[in-house]
């Protein structure tokens, strides 16, 4: 699925034209961008430090360094750098975006939503901001608000597999399983190698009683991710629903081998399921 971040492209595009700067700051900033793009994050931070020392008003250096800190999981430091960038230039949409990402990582979704809204105000065609705001609404359980944002993200970028997938998840949480299936199907048409999407579409099919379709999707998911205990367990429950206890037991045994913690969690449900289906095959 598509990453939450823009990548370094936004900094590369705007970096050269946005400000006038001296030679030392420019040289250090250009070096930071190259290192950042090459995923040499710690080295990039050192170069951003040099650029900032040479020009403390260089807002985009704070944006870049903040995003680099976020890549290292240092989200508090990332937020501080984006704060400084925004103070220097309140119209930098990517500073709000990266700060929102950091807030999301810290589970501060309300703050993230506010920042994504600011990104959208500054850049109404930013599909990533709509998708990520939808994700933040989803994390808060506000599924009715999440769906319109995912829909707008799809309108702006019809090839955004993540937006279709996440909208499908929101549809499922609202009990709209047919709509969820449609969204998962679109996501898979754009990215057919995602086990998680196959698994969730299988879950939706199962809830709709379309067990044959569910089994096909679980099979596809396990071809991609053959050590996923949860998928084996879910396929086992579908097999139980079909009364195929012997096949189900094999899947459940495999699930417990891969993740022993599932056994205690699922055994009561397994017993209840078997007792409700006397005609085993």
Question: pLDDT tens for residues 186-238?
Answer: 999 999 999 999 999 999 999 999 999 999 999 999 999 999 999 999 999 99
CA distances, 22 to each of 29, 60, 62, 86, 118 (Å): 11, 14, 17, 21, 31
The verdict on pTM exceeding 0.95 is no
pLDDT of 115 strictly over 80 = yes
79 within some domain: yes
237 within some domain: no
CB under 8 A, 24+ apart: contacts of 239-244: 239/215, 240/270, 240/273, 240/274, 240/277, 241/206, 241/211, 241/273, 241/277, 242/211, 242/281, 243/277, 243/279, 243/280, 243/281, 244/280, 244/281
55 within some domain: yes
pLDDT of res. 9: 52
Dihedral angle at the C-alpha atoms of 98, 103, 109, 113, nearest 10 degrees?
-30
177 within some domain: no
What is the domain extent for residue 52?
A: 1-93
pLDDT of res. 138: 99
Buried b (16+ CB within 10 A) or exposed e, 98-116: bbbbbbbbeebbebbbbbb
The structural domain count of the chain equals: 1
CATH number for the domain including 70?
1.25.40.10
Whole-number Å distance between alpha carbons of 172 and 196: 14
pLDDT of 104 strictly over 90 = yes
* 118-131 pLDDT per residue, tens: 999 999 999 999 99
Token pair listed for 107: 């589970």
pLDDT of 14 strictly over 80 = no
Dihedrals φ, ψ of 247, to 5°?
A: -65, -40
99 within some domain: no
180 within some domain: no
Token pair listed for 209: 């009683």
Percent of the chain with pLDDT over 90: 86
5 within some domain: yes
49 within some domain: yes
């Amino acid at each position: 699925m598509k990453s939450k971040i823009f990548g370094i492209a936004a900094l590369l595009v705007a970096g050269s034209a946005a400000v006038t700067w001296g030679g030392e700051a420019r040289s250090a900033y250009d070096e930071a961008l190259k290192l950042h793009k090459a995923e040499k994050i710690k080295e990039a931070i050192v170069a951003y430090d040099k650029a900032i020392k040479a020009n403390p008003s260089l807002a985009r250096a704070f944006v870049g360094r903040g995003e680099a800190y976020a890549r290292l999981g240092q989200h508090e430091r990332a937020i501080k750098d984006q704060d400084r960038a925004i103070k220097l230039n309140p119209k930098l949409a990517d500073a709000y975006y990266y700060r929102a990402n950091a807030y999301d990582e810290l589970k501060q979704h309300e703050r993230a939503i506010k920042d994504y809204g600011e990104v959208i105000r500054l850049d109404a065609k930013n599909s990533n901001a709509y998708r990520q705001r939808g994700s933040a609404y989803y994390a808060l359980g506000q599924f009715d608000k999440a769906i319109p944002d995912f829909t707008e993200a799809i309108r702006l970028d019809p090839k955004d597999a993540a937006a279709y997938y996440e909208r499908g998840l929101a549809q499922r949480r609202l009990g709209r399983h047919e709509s969820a299936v449609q969204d998962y199907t679109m996501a898979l048409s754009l990215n057919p190698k995602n086990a998680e999407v196959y698994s969730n579409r299988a879950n939706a099919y199962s809830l709709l009683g379309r067990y044959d379709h569910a089994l096909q999707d679980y099979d596809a998911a396990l071809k991609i991710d053959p050590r996923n205990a949860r998928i084996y367990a879910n396929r086992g429950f579908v097999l139980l629903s079909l009364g195929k206890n012997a096949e189900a037991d094999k899947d459940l045994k495999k699930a417990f081998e891969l993740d022993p913690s599932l056994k205690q969690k699922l055994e009561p449900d397994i017993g209840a399921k078997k007792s409700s289906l006397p005609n085993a095959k």
